[in-house]
Amino acid sequence: MPTPDSSDLSNGFDAEAQSAVYRAIFTRRDVRSHFLPDPVDDAVLARLLQAAHHAPSVGFMQPWNFIVIRDPARRERIRDLFLAARQEELPHIAAERRDLYRKLKLEGICETPLNIVVTCDRSRSQNSPLGRWHNPEMDLYSTVCAVQNFWLAARAEGIGVGWVSIIDRDALKHLLGIPEHVVPVAYLCVGHVSQFAARPDLERNGWGSRLLLADLIMSETYAGAGEDVLKRIASGNGPSAGI
């Protein structure tokens, strides 16, 4: 498995490498469909998990674990949890959006060859409060960084990833034997895909649209005006600008 040597760590990336990083970021998708039945090679999966394991973590706590789920019967039981949770969520969706909600493809639990649960062991940093004394949730945030590393590495490998959040966490913990002090942070459907969509599915289906970056940049204080040059430049950069 390739690892960077000291010369790789001293300077910024060349233009080609920079382009590849931004391409992975801008073309990453939360994949729900277009999955193929082809198995994911263990060597590829190991690279993705290595990328996740090299995520930043506060206090170098590395609170994550990765549960690999291949068994079809187990995944069917988890899909049942998803379907039940979706029914519970439906009444809380605005009435005028429920028909669209019902039509949305929101998981690929059984369509993919494997699923991965990324967990956060909240006891792992018990003896080291570095970075968590005032912000105890940083172990959870660190675990999310591992999810993002996995996701971007998967995109670079041509592997689709879908994050299923519509699952009752306690029911999932019971089904997978996850201890009380361990939190399941992300349930990921992982597999080869026939294509990556040009736009996120929820955007393409009219559920939402991307906010303007210029409207999200503030100066010095919350809602502080200013940074007009930065806002103008940022508004011109993005996937459509060829980054």
Looking at the chain, list the stretches that DSSP marks H as alpha helix, in order from N- to C-terminal side: 15-27, 42-53, 72-89, 98-103, 138-156, 169-176, 201-204, 228-235
Considering the domain architecture, whether residues 221 and 135 belong to the same structural domain is answered as no
Residues of the chain with pLDDT under 50: 1, 6, 240-243
Widest CA span in the chain: 57
- What pLDDT score does 130 carry? 81
Q: Rounded distance, CA 109 to CA 111, Å? A: 6
Residues in the chain: 243
- What pLDDT score does 17 carry? 95
Best CA proximity match to 218, nearest among 210, 209, 204, 228: 228
Q: Is the pTM of the predicted complex or chain greater than 0.85? A: yes
Where residue 92 sits, what CATH number does that domain have? 3.40.109.10
Residue 184 falls inside a structural domain: yes
Q: Which domain holds residue 218?
A: 211-243
**Is 81 in contact with 171 (CB distance < 8 Å)?**
yes
Best CA proximity match to 125, nearest among 135, 112, 111, 110: 135
Indicate the pairing of strand 182-192 with strand 114-121.
Answer: antiparallel
Considering the domain architecture, whether residues 242 and 152 belong to the same structural domain is answered as no
Q: Which residues pair with 114 in a beta bridge?
A: 190
The SS3 assignment for 155 reads helix
Strands (E), the chain: 64-69, 114-121, 159-164, 182-192
Q: Rounded distance, CA 152 to CA 224, Å? A: 32
Considering the domain architecture, whether residues 174 and 228 belong to the same structural domain is answered as no
Residue 1 falls inside a structural domain: no
- What pLDDT score does 133 carry? 79
**Is 151 in contact with 49 (CB distance < 8 Å)?**
no
Considering the domain architecture, whether residues 133 and 235 belong to the same structural domain is answered as no
Considering the domain architecture, whether residues 194 and 243 belong to the same structural domain is answered as no
DSSP-derived letter for residue 45 is H
Considering the domain architecture, whether residues 179 and 88 belong to the same structural domain is answered as yes
Considering the domain architecture, whether residues 201 and 237 belong to the same structural domain is answered as no
Q: Rounded distance, CA 115 to CA 162, Å? A: 9
Residue 136 falls inside a structural domain: yes
Q: Total domain count for the chain?
A: 2
Give the contacts of 123 (CB within 8 A, at least 6 positions apart).
181
